[in-house]
Amino acid sequence: MTITVAAPAKINLTLDITGRLDNGYHTIRSVMQAVDLADRITLTLTGRPGIRVSIDDRTGGDSLPADSRNTAYRAAALMFAGSGYAGGAEIHIEKHIPQQAGLGGGSADAAGVLTGLNRLLAADFCRERLMALGAEVGADVPFCVHGGTALAAGIGADISPLPTLPGCHIVIAKPAGGVSTAEAYRLADGAVITARPDHDRLEQALRERDLPEIGALLCNVFEPALALPETGNMHTIMRRHRCLGCQMTGSGSASFALFDNPAAAADCAAALRGPYPQTYLCRPVLEL
């Protein structure tokens, strides 16, 4: 039995660090949005114990582990344990989401495995149970299971649905270098944060489907803390093409811009692809 599922990336419309726990984890508040830049995951039940992961990386990134360190592997192991399935699986990941970009590629893969195996095994786990399993793999996995538009809180695993992002065009660009999440938090811990997201106003803008206001309310506290030179360069190009708003996503290094004009979005993507080959023209994914 085989199934192929899409594993969409995410962007952060807002991202605020709200605290730090005794175990070293940080707490956050973030409005996340699924987009149609996606990995493709093919799952095959083998009927014999063991999980085998293979990866076809179309992004040109560093080699990913294909063993128990891989998020897809860990998600499959949790799903098998939770469902009582005694067999194994082959997992093939066709990577389109770049690594160390703030786009949640590894979390998306884990979520894709959980939802795909839920269907293959006819386990009938509800979304909340899949999200709880995902939280054991990584903080962004519950959102990637949930999809759409949502507010993530706590360490990122407490998910509350929000009104969906209005139809728009999203340009994502990633510079050659990546950013380690641990290093990003280290830099943010030492930074003076002068501007924080207004989540109440953003939720109201989502309810009113006011895309220009949503663009104006984009805010990510990592962006000034990291102060990546390429971020400013990408944003200059995005603003030159009259985006409604742009910012870094996650802990970097990719940035995105929102457009209501498809031609302007396409022109912006074309302009970015010269200096930044990893540029993608996307749409929001409203439901999974």
DSSP 284: B
Name residue 110's amino acid: A
pLDDT tens column, 8-18: 999 999 999 99
Q: What is the signed CA dihedral for 216, 222, 226, 228, rounded to 10 degrees?
A: -40
Which pair of tokens denotes residue 130?
A: 């899949």
Catalytic choice (10, 109, 158, 174)? 10
DSSP 25: P
Nearby residues of 206 by Cβ (< 8 Å), 6 or more positions away: 149, 162, 163, 164, 165, 166, 214
Distance CA 112, CA 145 (A): 7
Distance CA 76, CA 73 (A): 5
- Under the phi-then-psi rule, with left for phi > 0, alpha for psi from -120 to 50, and beta for the rest, what region is 192? beta
Q: Please count the other Cβ atoms lying within 10 Å of the Cβ belonging to residue 215.
A: 20
Distance CA 74, CA 80 (A): 10
Is 140 tagged catalytic? yes
pLDDT at 198 over 80: yes
Distance CA 106, CA 158 (A): 18
Which pair of tokens denotes residue 101?
A: 């970009």
pLDDT at 283 over 70: yes
The total number of residues shown for the chain amounts to 288
pLDDT at 286 over 90: no
Query: What pTM, to 2 d.p., does this model score?
Result: 0.95
pLDDT tens column, 93-127: 999 999 999 999 999 999 999 999 999 999 999 99
Catalytic choice (16, 109, 140, 158)? 140
What's the pLDDT at 63? 77
Q: Give the angle subtended at the CA of 13 by the CAs of 125 and 17, to the nearest 5°.
A: 85
Is 62 tagged catalytic? no
